[in-house]
Every structure is written in structure tokens, then in C-alpha cells.
């Protein structure tokens, strides 16, 4: 792999997760992103209480993302070797934490509705 391209990354992720699971994850991520944009436009801002609760949920998302990747790749923590493995695992944790916090924020906003006193 001499050069990085979008097609290369897509092929690697499809091989790693399988095409059905990978594209299902892409679709879910797109749906959550659209819902997040909808909530931001509808509420004309971010609710700080909801944002705080979403941030507090980030460690759960990080652990869940790492556990999911370890399960899908049939790996254990003992299989982690070089620095690139730790960097990739850290990246998975960061993306999982961010994605889960957005999911929690959207879920709170859609369930509770718009509250004027909670918005900045």
C-alpha cells in the first residue's frame, strides 16, 4: 500500500467488518448526523444540560467501541503489539466516545423536546 486513497480505506473496512455490517454502520452514522443537525436547527442552539450529560457518557462510548472492534476482529488486548496498534485503538476509542456523545445528545433532545431555559 504505497498511497492512501478513499477506495483503499473502504476496501480495508469492508474486509474487516464485512460489507453488510460496514455499510449498515455508515448508514446509522449518517442517520445520527442528520438527526443531530435537525436538533440543532430546531432548537437554534445547544442545550447545556443535555450537552453535559452527553459528555459524561463518552467513556461508555469509548469502551463500547473498543470492545466492538475487539469482538469483530476476534482479538484480545494481549494481541496488541506495536505503537500503531495502540494509536489505532486510541483512535477507535476517541471516535466511539464522540459518536456516542452525539447519539446521547440527539436522543435526549428528541425525547425531551425543545426547552428554552436549557439553550444557549
- Write out pLDDT tens, residues 1-18: 567 788 887 888 888 888
- pLDDT of 96 strictly over 90: yes
Q: What is the mean pLDDT of the chain?
A: 86
In the chain, the percentage of residues whose pLDDT exceeds 90 is: 38
Task: Classify burial at 15, counting beta carbons within 10 Å of its beta carbon; exposed 0-12, middle 13-18, buried 19 or more.
Answer: exposed
Domain boundaries, the chain: 6-118
pLDDT at 105 over 70: yes
Q: Which residues contact 39 (CB under 8 A, 6 or more apart)?
A: 105, 106, 109, 110
- Please say if the pLDDT value at position 39 is more than 70: yes
Q: What is the pTM assigned to this prediction? A: 0.80
Amino acid at each position: 500500500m504505497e498511497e492512501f486513497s478513499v477506495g483503499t480505506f473502504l476496501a480495508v473496512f469492508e474486509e474487516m467488518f464485512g460489507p453488510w455490517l460496514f455499510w449498515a454502520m455508515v448508514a446509522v452514522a449518517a442517520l445520527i448526523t442528520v438527526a443531530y443537525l435537525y436538533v440543532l436547527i430546531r432548537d437554534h442552539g445547544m442545550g447545556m444540560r443535555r450537552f453535559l450529560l452527553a459528555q459524561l457518557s463518552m467513556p461508555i462510548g469509548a469502551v463500547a467501541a473498543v470492545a466492538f472492534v475487539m469482538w469483530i476482529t476476534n482479538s484480545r488486548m494481549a494481541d496488541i503489539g506495536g505503537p500503531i496498534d495502540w494509536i489505532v485503538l486510541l483512535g477507535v476509542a476517541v471516535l466511539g466516545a464522540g459518536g456516542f456523545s452525539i447519539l446521547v445528545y440527539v436522543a435526549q433532545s428528541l425525547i425531551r423536546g425543545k426547552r428554552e431555559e436549557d439553550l444557549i
